[in-house]
Amino acid sequence: MLQKLSPNSPILQATFGIERESLRINSNHRVAQTPHPHKLGSRSFHPYIQTDYSEPQLELITPIAQSTKEARRLLGAITDVAARSMDKQEYLWPLSMPPVISEEEIQIAQLDSDYEYQYRVGLGERYGKLVQSMSGIHYNFELGKDLTQQLFELSEETDFIAFKNTLYLKLAQNFLNYRWLLTYLYGASSLAEKGFLTTEVGCVRSIRNSKYGYVNSDDVHISFSSLQQYVADIEQAVQSGQLSAEKEFYSSVRLRGAKTSRDYLSKGISYLEFRSFDLNPYDPLAISQETLDTVHLFILSLLWLDQLTDVDNTLAKADKLNNLIALSHPHTPLPNDADATPILTAMKAIVLHFGLDDYYGQLIAHAEAALQDPRLTLSGKIAEQVEDGSLEKFGQQQGQVFHDYAWTAPYALKGYENMELSTQMILFDAIQLGLNVEILDEEDQFLKLWHGNHVEYIKNGNMTSKDNYVIPLAMANKVVTKKILDQAGFPVPAGAEFANKTDALRYYGQVASSAIVIKPKSTNFGLGISIFQEPASLADYEKALDIAFSEDSHVLVEEFVAGTEYRFFILDGKCEAVLLRVAANVVGDGSSTIRELVEQKNQDPLRGRDHRSPLEIINLGDIELLMLEQQGYTPDTVLPEGIQAFLRGNSNISTGGDSIDMTDQMDESYKQLAADMATAMGAWACGVDLIIPDRTKPASKNKPNCTCIELNFNPAMYLHTYTYAGPGQSITPKILKKLFPEL
């Protein structure tokens, strides 16, 4: 079928969706008895994190992805959110088979829908509740639109729906025929802990994929020989009561895209769901990138192969073979009638025909190696972890590793570390809350979030529909900001703007006896700024003007305001956080050198480089050495206990400064004043920078006791959340709450 395609055809074009189940485990390493984490919003609509059969069994569901990489990245983010939304003592069980478990520990998921609850009660009665505690991965797959179209054009079909049904049915048939290969390679439900099974099966490849797995009773026979027969059989099974509903048919491949089987006849199969994958306990996401891609190539090979003949008998035989392989010890070789040659040949042919790169050749080589040596298979490795007839210890150990991994860099979202921290936080919060999330442009930090029909776009974490366009543009212009605040009666530094030196010189008389700042209108990295804390002479004033005019055509002469600068984060008229930034520094302990103190301080997991962490590494470069020298220190100075040495003159976080959450300490009057400034400006989200000489004296509009030096239309939110000192204030969830008040 694929053979006719041009080598240029987009053979890898496809969409992928992954569902992963996993049990929550408590600190006693037993299945958690706590309710579904309340942080994860409502299961009545959560698109990514649901519960499967039982209350502690999380189901992580990725949206549709355009590549396996993207699917895995999405799964990684959802896993990250799930792991960090549970009680911190709980962790996700990394194995498909549960730890030792009793029926009493399996509480049916407390879903809002009574139908869903009763359905689960019925399943428990028919299959037993224990078997429901196994977890697996479902791999949803749809061929790409262009690829499907090209295949359709090369086919003899004239009806596109009929064509798709033929295509996907062939895929399903061949999948069932070669399913044993996946069981061999990726089977990983090797051991039932004590009390799980009534039969002793020992260490095998995949209990989940064997007759002891989650299978229908023997009398349910659904033929895959034709779609018509399939539909007829399923309807018959439901009618006769063998199945309580169509969805109770547990095949390792499921047709998807319509509500009832009969709909496929008129609407066509949209995609397939492959349900046979066990959790890979060596991967934090329970399925590796290599597996995803090998399976993708395997699926394509199923289309390269011929159509099966004598479908029912062939598949019955294949099912037996699969069961045999699933229930063999992982280190035993494959039985003789398990012939992987046709499928391997097809995989290689595809790589060759479409000129796929080396990576795919290597995937095949790895599969071939595992076929030669069963110890290289997943179950082959897991078998070596069995201790005293149990995998509990192994499961606990791997579970803890993945749990710790999730909690490293808790300010970040796994897989999205290249985005801005505030955007990573918004993404985390949105996934947690159950909002639908799409990254419209990753480089540009542009997100689409939606719930039902309600869509919101967010850029840079705080640029939303809540602000009107012209206000951030006003805040981006210092002169405009000052005029608006001044006209509204708020304290801003006195000053004037000049387009030429003559006018600026004439202004000297107005500031001859004041402390002033002379700066280019568009300040850039502090270039061209002169500060006169004492009144400037006319000559110095003129020199400073020359410097400023060399940087910009417009120059500002402003009153210099002394005091401490605080950043107030204002959201929707309310001050949500106050931050003090302190220049890079260390405090002596009486025995360590400054160099050692810097090293110690840099150990803080919040410190990193290039704005990928909430704080930056303190350097010991030329600027820092000069700064130390000015204080009479060298890096080798042993600093007396309690004595603070500064490594920088500026308080920027980006040069190693400390962020100190002052929200609780700041007088309410200043918070209110800052909020009022934002309101006067018309800003929904903004940072207000106030210089406060003495914060113990409260502010009022008539006697502000402070000066506003800047409004920031794109204030970094993460700075307030993960601080060097102080509790830290969470802001991103508040943004989402205001954008989606219905949640």
Q: Which of 45, 457, 532, 560 binds a copy of itself (CB under 8 A)?
A: 457
459 lies in the binding site for a copy of itself (CB under 8 A): yes
Which is nearest to 425 in space by CA: 692, 68, 84? 84
| Nearest approach, Cβ of residue 10 and a copy of itself (Å) | 4
Using CB under 8 A as the binding rule, the residues of this chain from 52 to 111 that contact a copy of itself are none
Site for a copy of itself in 354-373 (CB under 8 A): 357
CB of 714 to a copy of itself, least distance (A): 10
Report the residue from 250, 507, 532, 560 that binds a copy of itself according to the rule CB under 8 A. 507
Token pair in block for residue 136: 């697996």
Tell which phi-psi region holds residue 341, choosing left (phi > 0), alpha (psi between -120 and 50) or beta.
Answer: alpha
Cβ 505 to a copy of itself, closest distance in Å?
10
Q: Which stretch binds a copy of itself (CB under 8 A): 131-139, 260-268, 400-408, 479-487?
A: 479-487
Of 11, 134, 571, 666, which one interacts with a copy of itself (CB under 8 A)?
A: 11
| Candidate ranges 96-104, 159-167, 463-471, 610-618; the one touching a copy of itself (CB under 8 A) | 463-471
Residue 467 found at the interface with a copy of itself (CB under 8 A): yes
| Beta carbon nearer to a copy of itself, 316 or 499 | 499
**C-beta separation of 154 from 4 below 8 A:** yes
Determine if 324 is a binding residue for a copy of itself (CB under 8 A).
Answer: no
Nearest to 69 by CA among 243, 245, 293: 293
Among 285, 458, 570, 690, binds a copy of itself (CB under 8 A): 458
Q: Which is nearer to a copy of itself, 85 or 481 (CB)?
A: 481
Q: Does 463 bind a copy of itself (CB under 8 A)?
A: yes
By beta-carbon proximity to a copy of itself, the closer residue of 103 and 503 is 503
Give the residue from 129, 76, 73 showing the smallest Cα distance to 101. Answer: 129
Token pair 């990250």 in the structure block, residue: 80
Amino acid (one-letter) located at 514: S
Q: Segment 119-178, which members bind a copy of itself (CB under 8 A)? A: 146
Using the rule CB under 8 A, give the single segment among 76-84, 131-139, 443-451, 575-583 that binds a copy of itself: 443-451
DSSP secondary structure code for residue 617 in this structure? P
Closest CA to 82 of 58, 118, 105: 58
Q: Identify the residue among 131, 351, 474, 618 touching a copy of itself (CB under 8 A).
A: 474
Residue 483 CB, shortest distance to a copy of itself, in Å, is: 5
**Sole window of 44-52, 271-279, 341-349, 473-481 interacting with a copy of itself (rule: CB under 8 A):** 473-481
Q: Residue from 1, 12, 258, 547 that binds a copy of itself (CB under 8 A)?
A: 12
Q: Which residues of 565-597 are buried (b: 16+ CB within 10 A; e: fewer)?
A: bbbbbbbeeebbbbbbbbbbbbebeeebbbebb
Query: In Å, how far are 98, 385, 456 from 131, measured between CA atoms?
Result: 9, 23, 42
CB of 492 to a copy of itself, least distance (A): 14
Residue 468 binding a copy of itself, by CB under 8 A = yes
Nearest approach in angstroms of CB 688 to a copy of itself is: 18
What residues numbered 666-705 form the site for a copy of itself, per CB under 8 A? 682
Q: Does 465 bind a copy of itself (CB under 8 A)?
A: yes
- Only segment of 117-125, 184-192, 203-211, 435-443 that touches a copy of itself (CB under 8 A): 435-443
* Region from 158-166, 213-221, 480-488, 666-674 binding a copy of itself, contact rule CB under 8 A: 480-488
What are the tokens at 406?
A: 């999730």
- The span from the CA of 257 to the CA of 265, in Å, is 11
Q: Tell whether residue 13 is a contact of a copy of itself (CB under 8 A).
A: yes
| CB nearer to a copy of itself: pick between 349 and 356 | 356
Nearer to a copy of itself, 387 or 441 (CB): 441
Range 535-594, binding a copy of itself (CB under 8 A): 538, 553-554
- Contact indicator for 280, 291 with CB cutoff of 8 Å: yes
Q: How far apart are CA 714 and CA 432, in angstroms?
A: 24
Looking at beta carbons only, is 117 or 457 nearer to a copy of itself? 457
The DSSP annotation for 220-241 comes to -----S-HHHHHHHHHHHHHTT
Per the structure block, which two tokens stand in for 185? 């390679």
**Which of 155, 182, 179 is closest to 167 using CA atoms?**
155
- Cα 383 off chain centre by: 32
> How far is the CA of 50 from the CAs of 73, 76, 111, 257, 716, in angstroms?
18, 16, 10, 20, 32
**Which helix (H) or strand (E) is 215 found in, with range?**
none
From 79-87, 173-181, 465-473, 659-667, span contacting a copy of itself (CB under 8 A)? 465-473
Instruction: Give the tokens for residue 168.
Output: 């996907």
CA atoms within 13 A on the CB side of 725: 9
CB of 74 to a copy of itself, least distance (A): 17
CB 474 within 8 A of CB 711: no
Q: What does the alpha-carbon distance between residue 523 and residue 520 come to, in Å, rounded to a whole number?
A: 5
Cross-strand partners of 568: 578, 688
Distances (CA, A) of 737 to 429, 438, 576: 10, 18, 14
Shortest separation between residue 154's beta carbon and a copy of itself, angstroms: 14
Give the one residue of 302, 484, 555, 645 binding a copy of itself; rule: CB under 8 A: 484
Considering the rule CB under 8 A, would residue 501 count as an interface residue with a copy of itself?
A: no
Residue 330 CA to residue 555 CA, distance in Å, equals 77
Query: Binding-site residue total for a copy of itself (CB under 8 A)?
Result: 47
Q: Is 642 in the site for a copy of itself (CB under 8 A)?
A: no
Q: Is 533 in the site for a copy of itself (CB under 8 A)?
A: no
The three-class DSSP label of residue 712 is strand
Provide the residue type at 595 as one letter: R
Q: Is 512 in the site for a copy of itself (CB under 8 A)?
A: yes
Beta carbon of residue 61, minimum distance to a copy of itself (angstroms, whole number): 21
Q: Does the footprint of a copy of itself cover residue 440 (CB under 8 A)? A: yes
The nearer residue to a copy of itself, 241 or 452, going by C-beta atoms, is 452
- Asked whether position 527 contacts a copy of itself by CB under 8 A, the answer is no
Closer to a copy of itself by CB, 153 or 312: give it: 153
- Nearest distance from C-beta of residue 159 to a copy of itself, angstroms: 21
10 Å CB burial of residue 213 (0-12, 13-18, 19+) is: buried
* Burial (CB count within 10 angstroms: exposed 0-12, middle 13-18, buried 19+), residue 638: middle
d(Cα 288, Cα 281) in Å, to the nearest integer?
A: 10
User: Cβ closer to a copy of itself: 282 or 457?
Assistant: 457
Stretch that binds a copy of itself, among 76-84, 103-111, 394-402, 507-515 (CB under 8 A): 507-515
Query: Counting contacts by CB under 8 A, is residue 8 touching a copy of itself?
Result: yes
Residue 312 as a binder of a copy of itself (CB under 8 A): the answer is no
Q: Which of 1, 10, 289, 743 binds a copy of itself (CB under 8 A)?
A: 10
Letter for the amino acid at 671? K
Residue 3 contacts a copy of itself per CB under 8 A: no
CA distances from 85 to 107, 673, 727 (A): 20, 36, 19
| List 510, 591, 630, 665, residue binding a copy of itself (CB under 8 A) | 510
Minimum Å distance from CB 249 to a copy of itself? 34
Angle at 679 (CA atoms; ends 678, 680), nearest 5 degrees = 90
Structure-token pair, residue 362: 């290597």
List residues near a copy of itself by CB under 8 A: 6-13, 146, 357, 440-441, 443-444, 446, 448, 457-459, 463-474, 477, 479-480, 483-484, 502, 506-510, 512, 538, 553-554, 682
